[in-house]
Structure 1
Amino acid sequence: MSTDSIATVEGRRTSRIGPTIMREWRTWPRRIARGWRRSLQFRTIVITVALSAVALSATGAFVSTSISNDLFNSRLDQVLNESKRAATAAQTIFDSSDVTGQAASLSLQRSVQSAITASTSSRLVALYVTPGRETGPNSAISFSALKLVDVISPELRKQVSSGSDDQSQYWQSVSLRDGQSAAVPGIVVGTPLSVPGAGEYELYLGYDLAEADRTLVFVQQTLLLAALALSLLIGVIAWVVVRLVVEPIRVAAETSAKLAAGELEVRIPEKGDDVITTLARSFNGMADSIQSQITQLADLSRVQQRFVSDVSHELRTPLTTIRLAGDVLFDQRESFPPATSRTAELLHTQTERFELLLSDLLEISRFDAGSAELETEPASLVHLVEDSIDEMGQLALQAGSELRLVALGGYFEADIDPRRIRRIVRNLLGNAIEHGEGRPIVVSIDSTATAVALAVRDYGIGMTPEAASRVFDRFWRADPSRKRTIGGTGLGLAISLEDAALHGGELELWSEPGAGSCFRLTLPRTKGRPIGVSPLPLPPLDADGEAQTHNAFGQQAFNGDKT
């Protein structure tokens, strides 16, 4: 491979690594937010370290300010004393001098400078004649250090020039700079002087605070490092303490989640005699009690299921015999006296109802035992509904109702159990016929890419919200005094709900008194896939309209072509 090729490959690797790192950085805020929501340990440590950092920052700021003030005041007292000694020495020389002339003035100036330098540690000295106060031949005496030329403010000169006492001192904080060097904090002290034969003078001494500033910076850096180290130490201590406290809570949470998932044998480990162990002991005792009660209930449920199943199976043989004998009597009922003939008809009818009830009880026992299984195959919901309408059509006409099919969609096949879906449709149609008050019954079918739906809409008496909430209960009837016209067992809707759940679908109800009812069955097009939004609305679109208007709509849809 050539060098150019290697460079190209390395460039590509770099270009790939760059976006990957950027993506990882972008995910950090989301990860931190998720950790903050989910982790009590992380949240506690962050809050502890943050509050400790705030407390340490406040303490460090207070200590730093106190030290800074103490250093400044100490240095200020020192420079004021030195400045006072220098001013006294200069004033003494001026008071004892009686020279005149320029040469003598220069000699006097050098003597004053030497006396001031000997009396103070400052090398920044300035001596000015107070403007408007010159009175003699020695008024030409003046000198100034370059660093003090620009730092002595007019306000300070005004205070010094107005001072009447030569023992008065005035000071000002300044920033001293020498050429391009960094500025350092300093203090300028001004003192008024009186020179015989020359007038009023102003003496200024400058002192830099570089040493105090370096001391303060060192203290602040030390405090910052100590605060960082202490914050880290507090974080470690908080992590250890919180881990000791949170770990048992996490174990308890995981154990309770396993218990909720059905793992009734899990328990929290018990170690020591502290309050956590007491909690674990109480939790384990509660888990033992729950496990015992659940086991008892499960055993009782299995006994009941087995009893229902055994009774149902044992009843099949005598029921078959009774059914055969009843059929013989029913076929010969015309040759019997009227009372005997009526008895044969009742025996035949009740035997059929008893057989249907027995079949429903067996089916319910399978659902309760969890042994019900689907036998799915690709099938068209429209075709299954058409077959059920043909079966129930005569019964609907006897009740005065007309079954109308509005197939908006659904011809595409779905993975369903045809036997169970036919049973659901028959139960829904039978319920609509039972409570439809002789009005038309509209069956709507529609589908999407993920689901197929069926709605059975009647315009009968409807139900109250309390009745609608119990309509899927076993053996429950909205109006016990109402006569059954189709001989139901009271288990049809409960079985239909179980069949829908077995498919992974939903069976829902909308009903209002006087406006009728609408049952909606929604099934996944493919087994195990999510349904999404149901293709048919619930409440139905005509929920707020008059039944008569929608009767006309149903008639129009029924008479037209099926979509």
Structure 2
Amino acid sequence: MPRLAWRTWPGWLLGLWRKSLEFRTIAITVILSGIAVTVIGVSISVSIGTNVYDQRRQQIEVESERATVLAQNIFDSATSTGTGNQIELDSLQNQAQSTILSATSSPGGTSIAILRTPGQTTAQTIQDIASPDFPTAALSSELRKATASNSSKLHFQPVSLATNAGTQAGLAVGSTLQVPTAGQYELYLVYNLSDAQKTLAFMEQTLAIGSIALVLLIAVITYIVVRLVVGPVRVAAETSQKIAAGQLDERIPETGSDVIATLGRSFNGMADVMQVQIEQLADLSRMQQRFVSDVSHELRTPLTTIRLAGDLLYDHRADFDASSGRTVELLHTQVDRFELLLADLLEISRFDAGAVELETEPVNVVRLVEDGVIEFEPLADEAGSTMQVDARGGFFEAELDPRRVRRILRNLLGNAIEHGEGNPIDVVVDSDAHAVAIGVQDHGIGMRAEDAGRVFDRFWRADPSRRRTIGGTGLGLSISLEDALLHGGRLDVWSEAGVGTRFVVTLPRVRGGALTSRPVPIEPPDAEGESE
């Protein structure tokens, strides 16, 4: 469980980075401030450390040089007295060691060693001596060679000292002593620099704590400033979302006279204008819907009378002369079309008013499609087209409103016959576990891409000059799209000029289900071959 929680941290931070302007601003400020403070802190630490080391080295150099001079003076006294026997040399060696230790001062302590330079053949010698804690192993061969070969100056070497408190830094200083009758000896002083090391550690700790505190202070200040600046922007964003959701009375609080207040007043003014326009458009839309509904209902009464009279005349058309009989037939045809138009207008007004409901029941889609094809076969034969049903898949039972699906199929088949130019019409029915789909494809004149995007507009025709043979109302495809959307499905179109048109309606198999697949593709598989 903790691993899973840790794995979600990057995603959570990435989401917060994308969504929150405050978090992004504070994070960028803290990162850049942290980098700047780190660079400055490291520079200060290096500078102070170098300065402390240089001062301590200068102090050690002065002390070592003074200690070397005092020790040399002690050994030179053997020559001035004219003695220089072995006992006196040993005594002078002890005296020199004591004098050197008293002449050097180091808070961490000083170790001393007097070692004979190798390769000498003098008759007399004095024994090598060293402090008990002298780190002989820490002296490098390079330091010893340099000290022995160049006796005119001091030689330095950084060393590591092993103590009870751990490894500590130190500095070894080498010089030479000329002992009468005994030859050349090397004087080594090792200074413990733990005091300087502690000073540097304390300084670095102080810098680190100060840097962290400074970055946190910058983060707090940035948060306060960002809240002051981003807060009104967030309020504006939330208000705009509420207005977009339909709460047209929402406004931004106006306080002060700065640029944010100016933005609020401008936004509120824009919202007022939009609210007035939206309300006017809504009122106009309601008036149009009510007008269409009222007119459709009012026209039904006179249309019923006209229908009765027209049917009576149509039944006795054989008793009229040829011209009058033809007029009666035209009257009968146009009354039928007028009834269809009124029915479609009423249906559109119900969709616009949101007063339509699905009446679903288990439906065998293949059987419904076959019945629709049989119904349109006479019209297809008259137009010279043949219709073929290709039923695939195995999930043809679906919860649908059969009346609305039949209406969709009638509109698609009628449209295919109208524009099929007498070519075959392919009807494909396919399904899967989640959706059913019906595809109707003609091989007629087709449409351009810009025309295909408008086929579902009300009363729109790709070619207004084209004569209608079936007599549609211009609302069929619009109603079909609304019927598909009411099921939670979709109605798509593919068309190519000179190749044909394909409509595909896809509906969920279960009422309220989501569409996650397309059993019938929108573009036919042979589209490329046909276009070539």
TM-score by length of 1: 0.88
Which region of structure 1 is more displaced relative to structure 2, 238-247 or 452-461? Answer: 238-247
List per-residue Cα deviations over 1:281-325 (Å, max 9, x = no partner): 111111111111111111111111222222222222222222222
Distance (Å, rounded) in 2 between the aligned partners of 1:209 and 1:365? 95
Q: CA deviation at 1:150?
A: 1.5
1:349-406 CA deviation, whole Å, 9 max, x = no partner? 2222222222222222222222232222222222322222232121111111222222
1:176 aligns with 2:161: yes
What is residue 3 of structure 1 aligned with on the other side? none
SS in 2 for 1:127: strand
Find the partner of 1:209 among 183, 190, 193.
Answer: 193
Q: Compared with structure 1, are the counterparts of its residues 33 and 466 closer, same or farther at alpha carbon in structure 2 (3 Å cutoff)?
A: closer
| 1:433 counterpart letter in structure 2 | I
Partner Cα separation in structure 2 for residue 250 and residue 393 of structure 1: 62
Deviation at 1:543, TM superposition (A): 2.6
Q: How does 1:226-245 map to 2 (within 5 A)?
A: 226-245=210-229
Counterpart residue identity of residue 399, structure 2:
D
Partner of 1:177, secondary structure, is strand
Q: Distance in 2 between matches of 1:420 and 1:353?
A: 20
Alignment partners' CA distance in 2, 1:397 and 1:74: 111
Counterpart in the other structure of 2:49:
68
- Comparing 374-383 with 408-417, greater Cα deviation is found at 408-417
C-alpha distance in 2 between matches for 1:230 and 1:200: 58
Q: Secondary structure at the match of 1:140?
A: coil
Q: Deviations over 1:222-245 (max 9, x none)?
A: 222222222222222222222222
- Deviations, residues 498-552 of structure 1 (Å, cap 9, x unaligned): 11111111111122223222111111111211021121122123334469xxxxx
Contact 2:122–2:183 (Cα < 8 Å) also in 1: yes
SS of the aligned residue for 1:488 comes to coil
> Which segment is superposed worse, 423-432 or 369-378?
369-378
What is the total number of aligned residue pairs between the two structures? 524
- Quote the offset at 1:482 in angstroms: 2.2
Residue 454 of structure 2 corresponds to residue 470 of structure 1: yes
Over the matched positions of the two proteins, sequence identity in percent amounts to: 57
Deviation string for 1:16-65 (max 9, x for gaps)? xxx4x454444333333322222222222222222222222222212221
Cα deviation 1:409-432 (Å, max 9, x = unaligned): 467432222221111111111111
Structure 2 Cα separation of the partners of residues 437 and 183 of structure 1: 99
CA distance 1:195–1:410, shift in 2 (3 Å): closer
Distance (Å, rounded) in 2 between the aligned partners of 1:318 and 1:114: 137
The residue that corresponds to 2:34 in the other structure is 53
Q: Does 1:40 align with 2:21?
A: yes
Deviations 1:468-501 (A, max 9, x none): 2222222222222222111112211111111111
| Contact kept? 1:60, 1:223, Cα under 8 Å | yes
Tell which deviates more after alignment, 405-414 or 487-496: 405-414
Give the 3-state SS of the residue equivalent to 1:201 in structure 2: strand
Distance 2:182 2:148 in 1: 15
Query: What residue in structure 2 maps to residue 84 of structure 1?
Result: 65
Residue 483 of structure 1: aligned partner:
467
Structure 1 residue 212 displacement after superposition: 1.1
Deviation of 1:155 (Å): 1.4
Give the match for residue 492 of structure 1: 476
Separation in 2, partners of 1:132, 1:482: 123
Q: Give the superposition deviation at 1:268.
A: 1.6
Contact 1:380 1:411 (C-alpha < 8 Å) held by counterparts: no
Secondary structure, in 3 states, of the residue corresponding to 2:438?
A: strand
Structure 2 match to 1:304? 288
Q: Give the alignment partner of residue 325 of structure 1, picking from 309, 313, 324.
A: 309
2 CA distance for matches of 1:446 and 1:120? 101
Equivalent residue, structure 1, for 2:503: 519
Q: How do 1:388-537 residues align onto structure 2 when only pairs under 5 Å count?
A: 388-409=372-393, 412-537=396-521
**What displacement does 1:93 show?**
1.6
**Residue 396 and residue 287 in structure 1: after superposition, are their counterparts in 2 closer, same or farther (change >3 A)?**
same
State yes or no: 1:143 paired with 2:161.
no
- Counterpart amino acid of 1:250? R
The aligned residue for residue 338 of structure 1 is: 322
1:97 to 78, 83, 87: 78
Tell whether the 8 Å contact from 1:461 to 1:516 is kept in structure 2 after alignment. Answer: yes
SS at match of 1:183: strand
8 Å contact kept, 1:169–1:190: yes
Give the stretch that moved more between structures: 397-406 or 26-35: 26-35
In structure 2, what is the equivalent of residue 127 of structure 1? 114
Q: Answer whether contact 1:109 1:142 (CA < 8 A) is retained.
A: no
Amino acid at match of 1:131: P
Task: Decide whether aligned partners of structure 1 residues 181 and 491 sit closer, same or farther in structure 2, where only a CA change above 3 A counts.
Answer: closer
Q: CA deviation at 1:142?
A: 3.2
Give me the whole-angstrom Cα distance separating, in 2, the residues matched to 1:371 and 1:238.
54
Counterpart amino acid of 1:132? Answer: G
Deviates further, 362-371 or 75-84: 362-371
RMSD, aligned α-carbons = 2.1
Tell whether the 8 Å contact from 2:395 to 2:433 is kept in structure 1 after alignment: no
CA distance in 2, matches of 1:94, 1:483: 133
Q: What CA distance in whole angstroms lies between the structure 1 residues aligned with 2:217 and 2:499? A: 72
What is the alpha-carbon distance in structure 1 between the residues aligned to residue 530 and residue 130 of structure 2? 107
287 and 93 in structure 1: CA distance in 2 versus 1, 3 angstrom threshold: same
Contact 1:126 1:148 in 2 (8 A): no
How do residues 532-543 of structure 1 correspond to structure 2 at under 5 angstroms?
Answer: 532-543=516-527
Give 3-state SS (helix, strand or coil) of 2:118's partner.
Answer: strand
Task: Provide Cα deviations, 1:130-189, integer angstroms capped at 9, x if missing partner.
Answer: 22345453x335322342412222212222222253xx22212111224x5522111111
In structure 2, runs of 5+ residues without a counterpart are: none
Q: 1:410 to 1:120 in 2, by over 3 A?
A: closer
What's the TM-score once normalised by structure 2's chain length? 0.93
SS in 2 for 1:272: coil
Is the 1:381–1:410 contact (alpha carbons within 8 Å) kept by the matching residues of 2?
Answer: no
